[in-house]
Chains A and B, each alone.
Chain A
Amino acid sequence: MRLGLVIDLDVCVGCHACAVACKEWNASGTTGPLSDYQPYGAEPSGVWFNRIRHYEVGEYPDSKTVNFPMSCMHCEDADCVTVCPTGASYKRTGDGIVLVDQNRCMGCNYCAWACPYGARELDRSSGTMKKCTLCVDRIYDQALPVEERQPACVLTCPAHARMFGDLDDPQSAVSMAVRERGGYQLLPELGYNPTNHYLPPRKHKPIPTGEVVYGAWAKVKKLVNRVVKR
């Protein structure tokens, strides 16, 4: 099994609900709390497993805003694990989830240096490294109804931009979406082979934003408007 996320950049509206749901669930989860520093102060900051950035692709007028949620990619060749001197960072053999054992971490930051995706953040209050757990404490929870055994971010996304599943299984919904939509990995040249994939925005006909061309009826209306001078 190779569990991970597939994120649809075509439909993500950039609402940050996934990040909030993640924080809400994980603050009391296995790696919680996710400390906040000055949450109501002048310089609010804190630990998040999921961060959403916003980009403009292309030049105006042929440009598009792309909202870009990022969390741990649960890489196949995860250097964050190999560089860890204490053995606190590990990758589960069964499902490929990358986790940090909070009881072993010495807070050296080395794994965060080795992660290209900015997925790891040190919690100053515990002095340990924290990162996305793929909600390991809910996806296997037999007490939950089957459809709720998914990461909090996936469940909450109002645009259904996030999918969770086994990317090793070619018949899974996530694998099929990656195949059909040309899903891709970030920074492939670094060789981490991230599990999470991104679906690119669909190609749409460009919406004209330049000089508006009037049809015959519109021209008549314009003329009438000019004559009547409201």
Chain B
Amino acid sequence: MHPAFSVIFFTVASGTGFGLFVLLYMADLFRLGGGLPAHASALTGLLAVALVGGGLLSSTFHLANPKNAWRAFTRWRTSWLAREGVFAVAFFPFALAYIALAWFDAARDVRLMLGFFACVLAWATLFSTGMIYACLKTIRQWNTPLVPAAYLVLGHFSGAMLLLVVTLAVGASSTAYESLVMALLLAAAVLKATYYFWVGRPYGSTINTATGFTRARVRLLDTGHTHDTFLTREFGFRVGSAQRFWLKAAFFLFAVAVPAAMLTQGQALSLGAGLGAAVSAILGMGVERWLFFAEARHVVNLFHGAQRT
């Protein structure tokens, strides 16, 4: 699949925003590390909402006819894309109310209740984003439960990295937050390793099941078009196996190894090191998302001569 920048930015930014909000709420609920100062907590919440909002906005850039975008909320009963939109929009009022109360450090019970609803909606949105891809039977690299799982875990992981930076910036006790990051980092690494192992082995449709000639070799003679088509532009994107290998290595280096090394180097984590770890993790996440699209092979490629996807 063609990796569109707007969609990569959208999924990384909104995933980070939702993860950040959920963990901020958890920190508030369990008073993690003694809890964050009220204003810092509210501003972090605003950062989370801004990331989500910016991501959603950028996702409309890849629409060819954005004037009809408002209609995308109507088919939530069947479409995961519509569900994602509905949950994401419903998230804002709850999140903003929670942030307002957090700013004034007021009405803890009401605040926690509102925050809880916002969290559930954040989870629902992240899950829906994953399901947008995972429900497609046409792309075997996406049609797996590991995809929504990865969207949830990676969003929380990058959110936790940002939350750690916030605690370091305001000088709060960061030990609990570091453990949180490490736990999510491990979960993300294991999940993506499993995913890469799983999609690396060929299975599913072949040029034979696509054409119906299952008892002989089938070879494309001519695609029938003189130049590129919508199909080749949208689905024809290829990434070589060597490049795939190095991109996976880059993901594990930037998103896993560098943050893990910085968190376990033995001394107290400085703000600079925390920031470096967060930037590295989000960079790694960008690589992961690019590869997620680039590596996905749509079955229509079988009709264009691919022997398997």
Contact = CB atoms under 8 A, between A and B. Distances in A.
Interface of A: 16, 43-45, 47-48, 51-59, 65-66, 68, 70, 79, 81-88, 103-110, 112-118, 121-122, 124, 126-128, 184-192, 198, 200
Interface of B: 1, 62-69, 71-76, 78-82, 85, 132, 135-139, 204-205, 209-213, 216-231, 234-235, 298-300, 303-304
B138 A85 contact: no
A198 B138 CA distance: 20
Contacts of B303: 53, 68, 70, 117-118
Nearest to A53: B224
Given A106-B65, A118-B303, A44 B138 contact: no
Contacts of B69: 106
B299 A116 contact: yes
B211 A109 contact: no
Contacts, number: 177
A106 B62 contact: no
6 contacts: A43-B228, A65-B221, A68-B303, A83-B81, A116-B137, A190-B138
B221 A54 contact: yes
A85 B72 contact: yes
A52 B300 CA distance: 13
B273 to A, nearest CB: 41
Contacts of B85: 85
A55 B221 contact: yes
B65 A45 contact: no
Contacts of B81: 83, 85, 108, 110
A108 B84 CA distance: 14
A86 B230 CA distance: 21
Given A16-B224, A116-B205, 9 more contacts: A85-B85, A87-B71, A106-B67, A112-B234, A114-B136, A118-B235, A121-B231, A126-B65, A186-B209
Contacts of A84: 75, 79
B209 A53 contact: no
A107 B66 CA distance: 7
A187 B219 contact: no
B64 A104 contact: no
Given A83-B81, A106-B65, A186 B210 contact: yes
Given A191-B137, A200-B212, A106 B63 contact: yes
A184 B216 CA distance: 16
Given A55-B211, A85-B81, A127-B64, A113 B139 contact: yes
Contacts of A16: 224
Contacts of B136: 79, 83, 113-114
Given A57-B218, A82-B78, A83-B81, A52 B224 contact: yes
Query: Which of the listed residues B132, B217, B220, B303 has the most CB atoms from chain A within 10 Å of its own CB?
Result: B303
A121 B138 CA distance: 16
A101 B161 CA distance: 44
B230 A106 contact: no
Contacts of B79: 82-85, 110
A150 B63 CA distance: 34
B63 A113 contact: no
Given A59-B217, A104-B71, A188-B209, A117 B227 contact: no
Contacts of B304: 53
Given A87-B74, A189-B205, A56 B219 contact: yes
B227 A108 contact: no
A85 B75 contact: yes
